[in-house]
Amino acid sequence: MEQTLERPNGLAMTFKEGGLDWPKAPAVTSLEVERLQRKQRLAIGFRIFSMFGFDMGIAGHISCRDPILPDHFWVNPVGLHFSRMRVSDLVMVDHQGRLVHGTKPINAAAYGIHAAIHRARPDVVAAAHAHARYSTAFASLGIALPPITQEGCVFYGDHGVFQGYRGVAADMSEGELISTALGPHKAVICRNHGVFTVGHSVDAAVNWFLRLERSCEQVLLAQAAGTPIEIDHATATMTAKQVGSHEAGWYSLQPLVEKFLAEQPEVLD
């Protein structure tokens, strides 16, 4: 029997046996519109990262594939604080590292890793990384995320672990190794470095990063308090299907997107 929870914006979430029927992103009318929407979401994504404190120094980057030139991606210029990011600040590079749009330089590590991910994963629209407190601390353990919370089940069976830390990933070889460790998953934990998340939309990639940071925090807190009880395989697998879909990734970020559109509309400039 279905149970429908009406949302104020007219969308509805339907609960079904074995999963959730999440609302889907509105269809785009043209590639030009899709390009603009991706850039807008990307700029908002940086401001969301800043709100959560994921803006330490010049570390951190989010990229999105260009829908018109799929072997190009948009990314942040190095040195611009995430809280000030606007659509007009974004730059576009190709997979060879050539600057195609914009004049400001980008982080070499951002190019090396994001180009490798976008090249290896045609399904990926966006990738996100920052040196966030809890996910970076958890990454030092060099282990997979244990399924101890519903939030953590988002990544159950759907993340890789990269063990080969060799300093700042400023060349393509390091990016390719991280991309290989990511595999077909939505996230990769890079030992002694941090985490990367990817999505079929900018919203999903950003949301998965928020979820992974929170999940790592939950594990560290639980381990500090005692021995957390892991969710069994069958339940964790079912929960992953419920809360880890592409639609769930997109929809879960919409409250924050609406917040920034209402409070900081200049982000679209």
Mind listing the pLDDT tens digit for each residue in 72-130?
A: 999 999 999 999 999 999 999 998 889 999 889 888 888 889 999 999 999 999 999 99
Q: How far apart are CA 249 and CA 22, in angstroms?
A: 9
User: Cβ distance 215 to 152 under 8 Å?
Assistant: yes
The domains found in the chain, sorted by start residue, are 29-259 (3.40.225.10)
Residues contacting 147, CB < 8 A, separation 6+: 153, 156, 230, 231, 236, 239
User: Cβ distance 205 to 199 under 8 Å?
Assistant: yes
Question: Helix or strand or coil: residue 257?
Answer: helix
Q: What percent of the chain has pLDDT over 90?
A: 77
Q: Is the dihedral of CA 77, 81, 82, 88 positive or negative?
A: negative
- Mean residue pLDDT of the chain comes to 91
pLDDT of 174 reads 82
Inform me whether the pLDDT recorded for 15 exceeds 80.
Answer: no
Instruction: Assign 234 a pLDDT band (cuts: 50, 70, 90).
Output: very high
15 vs 114, residue with greater confidence? 114
Question: Helix or strand or coil: residue 197?
Answer: strand
Inform me whether the pLDDT recorded for 2 exceeds 50.
Answer: no
164 vs 41, residue with greater confidence? 41
Query: Does this model's pTM top 0.85?
Result: yes
Q: How far apart are CA 212 and CA 152, in angstroms?
A: 7
Tokens of 206: 């950003």
Inform me whether the pLDDT recorded for 135 exceeds 80.
Answer: yes
pLDDT of 7 reads 41
| Token pair 């964790």: residue | 236
Inform me whether the pLDDT recorded for 171 exceeds 80.
Answer: no
Inform me whether the pLDDT recorded for 202 exceeds 70.
Answer: yes
Q: What percent of the chain has pLDDT over 70?
A: 91
Q: Average pLDDT of 234-250?
A: 94
User: Cβ distance 106 to 135 under 8 Å?
Assistant: no
